Chains A and B, each alone.
Chain A
């Protein structure tokens, strides 16, 4: 009784698990029917026995297949923002709550959400395999990373994931859907061959003489998450295992300015944004300070990670 109740409670908290035979399952069923007819025709009792054994194995396989999928709990994490054309890496933590190992789980997401078909399960063909879990021992947790294609600049919904398996016999397909409402910001695809504009003269530069820059070495400071990796003092790390960043002072005049008018000669808004994106990436990699000016928006100079992402974000949501 308790078992039934607990099943009932689970039904509310857990996604609904579906199970249906796949094409090989239907083939297997056909085989059994043909064999049963043969057994009846020839009055062969042992052939009956074999048919019943195979049917029973199909039944047991159904339970195992269901257990294999339904005992997997998935907790999706926070996906990182990424550039259009590359992949969103969605971390997903999977854990096994059953007494047996969970094998051969496939996690897929749909390529094209607008796909519609009258045929049942036809849309499964639109799900693309993203990640496979080979084996998860009982009571274990593992974190997978799901590479999902980042399509267009802007907000992208991750949407539905299909977690499925045909284990053990491959005759039945068992799956559940994981609805992920999180939206991920996709930055423009960085490309373009325009050279970077020269360092700007810096109208507000004088006030910033004391700002840390990247030209003259000014000493070490403890590493804080988000700081540019290029400035980590690797040699010092080898000495005493403490992450430090090298601090520089930089003359205020020496920062790069990326403006909308610099890419005015590039055709198409997306291409303009891509060029700006590429400059920003290059500048961030070099560790230089830069500022960004878009129509109706301007971001003051900076060179840390937060600034970098702020600029990319501005490009991603730009509506021209």
Chain B
């Protein structure tokens, strides 16, 4: 039985090898180097077999042993690298190794197909790491090549071009069905059996955590650390362009930048350097908020996966989000009931004018805590200003003025601080960004007996003028202060705006070094700068659409789209109905496309029919049983004026058809076209 299976032709194996290397290439970026080397080495062995006839493992007992040993070593190496758990990286590594060794021992058609199928699998694993448009383009190319490999094993006699053309036709004709299935195939919310750990923390592709003080080494894989804020211990705020979330406002009216405060966690406890939220057990029930409903803002947030429970809302939401299960805590922050492990979307409405716990705040004690024996200079400054300004509001203004008038600088790369970080910032370095200002301002408030807390989140965002989507990135992360005043409740005070009002008014973009905004070549002239800006916005609009509608196409998205398309009550039943109808239509279209007859035009026969028609118009009766010669004789008798023409045309026709003189065809057709028996008759 086994002997009867034919061996794949060498050309097919070489093609498969080239294709698999191309498929594995993007994986080399994150696979360990030794694995890539093993993969290429094993492929090289097979290539040398094809080119130079090197022996394969099957040819020699010793080589078989080497092959087995290599495979065992590779698997042991994978296990030692990743441990025994089958996770994403280990799975991909194992698949790559397996594929290489499978191809090396490919003997017959069955092995060949198995290699092809593993190749398809390897293409799919690429989406664990990257989901850009480019990678989908690469997927198309890979599928095209792998398909042509499958064709080559069935039709070895065809040329490379023919094979690529056939697989291209297959790919092209498959596209409508693919799109139909993509849109209408009822999506099932996953996971079905749990997700490998390393898939959840895709730190390399989507660092969507709170990176306000994102010490990268600490934030890897440890939740909670990013809810804290550490002042002065990092010299560079993480300037990631990764997207935190996107917002689409109702009616596409985008509020001014200075009210775009995206509220995240609230920090109360401090040890002098680090700020932390309240322990969960100290949190009491619902806050008491009253809204000035006149300025209500409706919007939709698409939050990227950040592996925490925070939802970011415009300060302050007046209702709970729709589309996600969440609650508001006593600090006015929204917390999802589940960790955000995938891109999530929810609808919200917010009111910028509000009063938060104006009558009573149960947590005031926590808002006055300061670590003992720390910040002596700050305390001294607070005492001094407080005696000068007995009114609380005057005092707040005085502190803000202090920041504005003293030589404080807003910088994204402040010097490292040591010792008492608040004091050394306030009185020595005076260079810092939002964290420094928020922390020291809060300390100055508390030292003067005004309850204060730190809120972290995002501020601003980039508006794309093409699709009117506001994109908030990690670099828009921000920290500000809230103080509690009698009868007014918690009031947002942003000390950063006292130092760098442009940060708040126009966002962080303007503060970035220019080469981060655009290539140097474009920065020279305003026209080029403008052009660059437009290109960038268009590209980002396309990217937004891609992220939201293709990469982010999930059960909720699907329902939303189908509702937009006019389906009243989209559920899996109606989807299945439409899917069936669509598939049937595509089936019929494809059947027509492939099975229609090619009507090959025979211009000579058409011309002769034309000739007969012209004769019959001038009164010659055409008998289908008559041959051309008989017809010509009869016609010549009836139309003696046209006899010469009739004879010439008939003799040409006979020459073309029966004397193998196809070169006379053109002359014959030409003659028929000019043949006018009736004009002769007249």
Residues of A that sit less than 8 Å from B by CB: 3, 7, 24, 27-28, 31, 34-35, 37-57, 59-61, 63-64, 66-67, 70-71, 97-100, 103-104, 134-135, 138-139, 166-171
Q: Given that A49-B182, A52-B178, A60-B173 are known contacts, is A35 also in contact with B191, CB under 8 Å in the complex?
A: no
Q: Is the CB of A46 within 8 A of B178?
A: no
Annotate B153-175 by CB proximity to A: 1 below 8 A, 0 otherwise: 11101100000001100110111
A34 to B594, CA, bound (A): 30
Contacts of B455 in A (CB 8 A): none
Within 8 Å by CB of B117, from A28, A55, A135, lies A28
Contacts of A38 in B (CB 8 A): 124
Contacts of B191 in A (CB 8 A): 40-43
Nearest CB of A to B452, in Å: 41
Q: Given that A43-B554, A46-B131 are known contacts, is A55 also in contact with B177, CB under 8 Å in the complex?
A: yes
B648 within 8 A of A: no
Contacts of B551 in A (CB 8 A): 45-46
A65 to B225, CA, bound (A): 59
Q: Is the CB of B127 within 8 A of A47?
A: yes
Contacts of B140 in A (CB 8 A): 53
Q: Given that A54-B120, A60-B170 are known contacts, is A40 also in contact with B192, CB under 8 Å in the complex?
A: yes
Q: Is the CB of A168 within 8 A of B554?
A: no
Q: Given that A104-B154, A166-B154 are known contacts, is A52 also in contact with B177, CB under 8 Å in the complex?
A: yes
12 residue pairs from A and B, CB less than 8 Å apart: A31-B117, A41-B190, A41-B194, A45-B550, A45-B551, A50-B120, A50-B127, A63-B595, A98-B595, A135-B157, A138-B600, A168-B151
Q: Which 6 pairs from chain A and chain B are nearest by CB?
A: A99-B598, A56-B177, A56-B174, A52-B181, A67-B594, A46-B127
Q: Is the CB of A53 within 8 A of B190?
A: no
B597 within 8 A of A: yes
B443 within 8 A of A: no
Q: Is the CB of B185 within 8 A of A48?
A: yes
A237 to B593, CA, bound (A): 54
Q: What is the interface of chain B mostly: helix, strand, loop, or mixed?
A: helix
Contacts of A60 in B (CB 8 A): 170, 173-174, 177, 590
B121 within 8 A of A: yes
Q: Is the CB of A45 within 8 A of B552?
A: yes
Residue of B136, B153, B190 with most chain A CB atoms under a 10 A cut-off:
B190
Within 8 Å by CB of A134, from B157, B187, B195, lies B157
Q: Is the CB of A42 within 8 A of B199?
A: yes
Contacts of A44 in B (CB 8 A): 127-128, 131
Q: Given that A41-B190, A45-B554, A56-B175 are known contacts, is A64 also in contact with B181, CB under 8 Å in the complex?
A: no
Q: Given that A31-B117, A45-B550, A53-B178 are known contacts, is A40 also in contact with B124, CB under 8 Å in the complex?
A: no
Within 8 Å by CB of A168, from B113, B114, B117, B166, lies B166
Q: Is the CB of B594 within 8 A of A63?
A: yes
Contacts of B228 in A (CB 8 A): none
Contacts of A166 in B (CB 8 A): 154
Q: What is the chain B residue whose CB lies nearest that of A10? A: B595
Q: Is the CB of A43 within 8 A of B590?
A: no
A to B contact number (C-beta, < 8 Å): 171
Q: What is the chain A residue whose CB lies nearest that of B595? A: A67
Q: Is the CB of B192 within 8 A of A41?
A: yes
How many chain B residues sit at the interface, stated as a range, is: 35 or more
117-164 of chain B: CB within 8 A of chain A: 117, 120-121, 123-124, 127-128, 131, 135-136, 139-140, 143, 147, 150-151, 153-155, 157-158
A138 to B187, CA, bound (A): 43
Within 8 Å by CB of B177, from A3, A37, A41, A59, lies A59
A28 to B590, CA, bound (A): 21
Contacts of A50 in B (CB 8 A): 120, 123-124, 127, 139, 143
Contacts of A49 in B (CB 8 A): 136, 139, 178, 182, 550
B45 within 8 A of A: no
Annotate B255-297 by CB proximity to A: 1 below 8 A, 0 otherwise: 0000000000000000000000000000000000000000000
Q: What is the chain B residue whose CB lies nearest that of A64? A: B594
Nearest CB of A to B131, in Å: 5
Contacts of B590 in A (CB 8 A): 59-60, 63
A35 to B123, CA, bound (A): 11
Annotate B517-561 by CB proximity to A: 1 below 8 A, 0 otherwise: 000000000000000000000000000000000111110000000
Q: Is the CB of B188 within 8 A of A40?
A: yes
Contacts of A24 in B (CB 8 A): 109-110, 113
Nearest CB of A to B206, in Å: 13
Within 8 Å by CB of A37, from B192, B552, B586, lies B192
Q: Is the CB of B143 within 8 A of A53?
A: yes
Residue of B117, B587, B595 with most chain A CB atoms under a 10 A cut-off:
B595
Q: What is the chain A residue whose CB lies nearest that of B174? A: A56
Nearest CB of B to A283, in Å: 43
Q: Is the CB of B190 within 8 A of A170?
A: no
A170 to B550, CA, bound (A): 31
Contacts of B155 in A (CB 8 A): 103-104, 134, 167-168
B674 within 8 A of A: no
A107 to B181, CA, bound (A): 37
A52 to B177, CA, bound (A): 8
Annotate B180-203 by CB proximity to A: 1 below 8 A, 0 otherwise: 011001011111111100010000
Nearest CB of A to B607, in Å: 19
Within 8 Å by CB of A61, from B170, B175, B552, lies B170
Nearest CB of B to A200, in Å: 53
